[in-house]
Amino acid sequence: MTRRASYLAAGAYLLVALVFTWPLATVIGSEIAWDMGDSLFNSWVLLWTGGQVLAFLSGDFSALNRFWHGNIFYPERLTVAFSEHLVPQMVQALPILAATDNVVLAYNLLFLSTFVLSGLGMFLLVRELTGSPVAGFVAGLAFAFAPYRVARFPHLQVLSAQWMPFVIYGFRRHFDTRERRPLIGGTVALVVQNLSCGYYLLFFAPFVGLYVVYEMVSRGLVREWRLWRTWVVAGVVALAFTFPFLRPYFEVRTHIGVGVRTEAEIALFSADTHAFVTPAETLWFWGQRLPAFNKPEGEGFPGVTILLLALLGVFAGIVNERRSSPRSPLGPRPLVGYFAVSALVAAVLALGPQITSGGTVIGPGPYAWLVAWVPGFDGVRVPARYLMLVALFLAGLVGYGAAALWRWRPKMAPGVIVIAGLLILGESWPGAFKTNTRLWAEGVELPPRVLHTGDDIPPIYKYLRDEPGPVVLIEFPFGAVPWDLHAQFYAGYHRRSLVNGFSGFFPDRQRTQAGVFMMVRHDPEAAWRGLVASRATHALVHEHAFVSTRRELYTVWLEQHGAVRIRSDGDSHLYRIR
């Protein structure tokens, strides 16, 4: 019965996710969720790292040596470590990539899975805590479809918070049963969560440590040294499996010189106190109804229904604490206090190193201490992503609130809880779910809306893929984000070295080159010297990317300097430079 309820819950979350993201299911293999920004970048990551693993499994045992050396930003090394490596997501996507070579399909399935698994994990956790499957299901809705997620639709790595409730669920069961399986399961979930998103490695892992301490203290187990040893071993094991994936990032910081954010950048991407009443503009109900304070990554509105149920959960926890008789030292205690305090702490940390209210600085924040003293925090630029942890802990409180309602008002509770679940979804509902939404950049036209995958990639890219000689490709426009992402997406398929690139960090050479190639009209000789210095062997010019007065500017420039046109596809022209 317990397992059947879990399957039913997972099926229900899947159904809701399909409706929530409609019409994604109708174009799941051809159009990518939301926009053609970070979604294309993450698709390249999946193609590159997944391709190396598939090559290794096919007998190319040197392929893993190239795992971190993605084919962008030529001639830079370790380019996968310029941003998220997405290894767990790649492992999930690998069967799809192997069977279909369709990264759009793989990406969209990953996107949908974040909702289903987030809901299922919270369902299992809250059912374990309250004994109520109904409370667990509502809590799963609150986490899987929290309003904060809608604002993060373009960022698969941020949506990939689904393993967090599984961590606490496994560890809670170990505290209750002392069995090894849930301990192992929780530790595995922690490792997978660490590797799914670098932000959550830094942001969530400390709250896991606080959870263990909370349980040890509340259960009266502080002097159980054997149990402490068990948790220390679990922590060491989690670190041991996580650390190999951190080493390339240390090397990038040390030898390549990228990996540190400026104070201004961190402040820009911190939440404002007004974030908690600022919804995503795309929310169907609240998007245009609440006074918003526009700030990058600053949409932290938790939803009225979620907040009310969470407050009910806190109230129920206080009432139960006052009424309860002294417990056995080994008895489990509710996690209301842990969830409430953790939600508040995460909310304060989301405000960044300088707390602002309506854009006005009101004082320093504790996040400044983390940047100054904890390794890694100076390398992440978006403290506001603590808001996902706020959503996690509020969902736990929602579960306690729903369970209390069911216990106190058993006759009216079913109807109220159904309405609450519908309200949670209604408050989070996106006005219109977009696919293949193109990015705009000044001075260039929009890139093509259609994405080609597998053996259906454009003929020029097939030619480059199959070219027997060495290829270092540069594409024009260069330095325009939508077109660099277009080039990078197809680089995941042709797998040739690419001078273009887009990532979380950019090498200094990239910025310099972008400036040089803007000089084609005014100083074509200097631009040519820059092209030679890039060591590109081939140049691909998309004439349709430029405004009408500059359509032929780059093709004429290349031909005047001796580049040889070797292939055309419409008004995209491939040149051999040397």
Give residue-wise pLDDT tens across range 436-469.
999 999 999 999 999 999 999 999 999 999 999 9
Answer yes or no: are the C-beta atoms of 365 and 352 closer than 8 Å.
Answer: yes
Instruction: Dihedral sign for Cα 420, 134, 402, 119, please.
Output: negative
Q: Say if residue 411's pLDDT is above 90.
A: no
Question: pTM for this one?
Answer: 0.96
Nearest partner of 206 among 349, 355, 335, judged by Cα? 349
How high is the pLDDT of residue 471? 97
Q: Say if 562 falls within a structural domain.
A: yes
- Tell whether 482 and 415 lie within a shared domain: no
How many degrees, rounded to 5, is the angle at CA 313 between CA 286 and CA 305?
A: 15
- Tell whether 152 and 26 lie within a shared domain: yes
Q: Say if residue 321's pLDDT is above 80.
A: no
| Residue 97 pLDDT class (50, 70, 90 cuts) | very high
What is the rounded CA–CA span in Å between residue 28 and residue 176?
A: 42
- Tell whether 345 and 484 lie within a shared domain: no
Q: What residues pair up with 542 in beta bridges, in sequence order?
A: 572
Q: Say if 177 falls within a structural domain.
A: yes
How high is the pLDDT of residue 324? 61
Q: Say if 499 falls within a structural domain.
A: yes
Nearest partner of 123 among 110, 111, 134, 112, judged by Cα? 134
Q: Say if 438 falls within a structural domain.
A: no
Give residue-wise pLDDT tens across range 330-348.
457 899 999 999 999 999 9
Domain boundary among 410, 428, 446: 428
CA 511 from chain center: how many Å?
Answer: 25
How many structural domains is the chain composed of? Answer: 2
| Residue 171 pLDDT class (50, 70, 90 cuts) | very high
Across 411-430, average pLDDT: 92
- Tell whether 370 and 469 lie within a shared domain: no
| Residue 548 pLDDT class (50, 70, 90 cuts) | confident
- Tell whether 347 and 480 lie within a shared domain: no
Q: Say if 53 falls within a structural domain.
A: no
Coil, helix or strand at residue 544 = helix
Query: Hunting for tokens 């595995």 — which residue is that?
Result: 188
Looking at per-residue confidence, does 408 or 196 come out higher?
A: 196
- Tell whether 239 and 289 lie within a shared domain: yes
Q: Say if 498 falls within a structural domain.
A: yes
How high is the pLDDT of residue 439? 96
- Tell whether 242 and 316 lie within a shared domain: yes
Type of residue numbered 309: L
- Tell whether 291 and 395 lie within a shared domain: yes
How high is the pLDDT of residue 328? 43
- Tell whether 155 and 210 lie within a shared domain: yes
Give residue-wise pLDDT tens across range 222-249.
999 999 999 999 999 999 999 999 999 9
Q: Say if 435 falls within a structural domain.
A: no
Q: Say if 437 falls within a structural domain.
A: no
Query: Hunting for tokens 């690139």 — which residue is that?
Result: 501
Residue 498: which domain range?
A: 454-576
- Tell whether 399 and 542 lie within a shared domain: no
CB-based burial, 441-479: b 16+ in 10 Å, e otherwise:
beebbebbeebbbeeebbebbbbbeebeeebbbbbbbbb
Q: Say if residue 564's pLDDT is above 70.
A: yes
- Tell whether 526 and 386 lie within a shared domain: no
In the chain, % of residues over pLDDT 70 = 98
- Tell whether 458 and 554 lie within a shared domain: yes
